[in-house]
Amino acid sequence: ARLAILLSGRGSNMVALVNAVQSGVLQHLAEVAVVFSNKPDAPGLETAAALGCPTASLTSQGRKRQEFDAEVVQVLQQFQPDYIVLAGYMRILSPTFIRAFAGRILNIHPADTHQHQGLHAYEWAFENQLKETKITVHLVDEGLDTGPILAQHPVDLQGAGTLEEVERRGLAVEHFLYADTLARLIRGELSNLNSDPAATTVAA
Ligand code: GRF
């Protein structure tokens, strides 16, 4: 399967995915068709190029969402992706974008999407002193962090005294869960998506 990985920042999930493609659970299953950013100066874009990935970018600053997304769709289609993998892509996707790749867009959210949506999920877990949070990989629909859940995995937060520690533990889970879930999806092991939503939650 051909992956288009979209990011706006640091790109640690992108790195984990590239490693999984090159020598991990996604080897022989996936290739990175392109790493795309809406921020031409995103650190993750440079990292992707250094890892040997094709890269592309279009600046979203000052652009109307709909128009910008239509252009992004055109750029991405040139790379013929099977899946659009959001990895810290800090844009809400317009219906134009979602319909172009319907059912093939994945996101990773650093909380249980039933409990928390949007930004600052690790801060939310830390401030509420959660003993445990969950990382969620889900399909993207037209809502904010509302799409069908593909996988969730718990993060033990007991004794995590700082926000940095919460993030460190969470990212360690993010980095294996995203690649693992994509591997299951590509192998056709997550094919019951249209039935009972509860039955689609896969423990990794
Ligand atoms: C991650 O915490 C991810 O779950 C969220 O944005 C962050 C991106 O981090 N959607 P990175 O750029 O992959 O390091």
Per the annotation, does 188 bind a ligand?
Answer: no
Work out the mean pLDDT of the chain and round it to a whole number.
94
Confidence at residue 193, expressed as pLDDT on a 0 to 100 scale? 59
From the CA of 11, how far away is ligand 1's center (Å)?
7
Surface-to-core class of residue 189, CB atoms within 10 Å of its CB (0-12 exposed, 13-18 middle, 19+ buried): exposed
Residue 140 CA to residue 146 CA, distance in Å, equals 7
**Does the predicted TM-score (pTM) go above 0.80?**
yes
From the CA of 45, how far away is ligand 1's center (Å)?
14
- In three-state secondary structure terms, 112 is coil
Confidence at residue 192, expressed as pLDDT on a 0 to 100 scale? 58
Residue 5 CA to residue 18 CA, distance in Å, equals 10
**CATH classification code of 2-120+135-154+169-203:** 3.40.50.170
The answer to whether residue 119 scores a pLDDT higher than 60 is yes
Q: Where are the beta strands (DSSP E) in the chain?
A: 2-7, 31-37, 55-57, 83-86, 105-109, 132-139, 149-156, 202-203
Over pLDDT 90: what percentage of the chain?
92
Residue 182 CA to residue 103 CA, distance in Å, equals 13
Ligand 1 pocket, CB under 6 A: 7, 9-13, 44, 87-88, 108-110, 174
From the CA of 141, how far away is ligand 1's center (Å)?
19
The answer to whether residue 195 scores a pLDDT higher than 80 is no
Per the annotation, does 108 bind a ligand?
Answer: no
HSE (side-chain half, CA atoms, 13 Å) at 80: 3
The answer to whether residue 204 scores a pLDDT higher than 80 is no
Q: Distance of CA 154 to CAs 17, 109, 142, 164, Å?
A: 20, 12, 26, 17
Pocket residue to mutate for ligand 1, from 38, 41, 84, 108, most atoms within 8 A of Cβ? 108
Q: What is the torsional sign of CA 74, 138, 7, 14?
A: negative
Q: Which two tokens stand for residue 204?
A: 């990794």
Residue 97 CA to residue 81 CA, distance in Å, equals 13
Q: What is the pLDDT of residues 45-91, one digit of tens each?
A: 999 999 999 999 999 999 999 999 999 999 999 999 999 999 999 99
Q: Which two tokens stand for residue 171?
A: 């990212």
Per the annotation, does 11 bind a ligand?
Answer: yes
Residue 97 CA to residue 71 CA, distance in Å, equals 9
Domain-wise residue ranges, the chain = 2-120+135-154+169-203
Reference 17, options 7, 141, 8; nearest CA is 7
Which residues are designated catalytic?
109
- In three-state secondary structure terms, 40 is coil
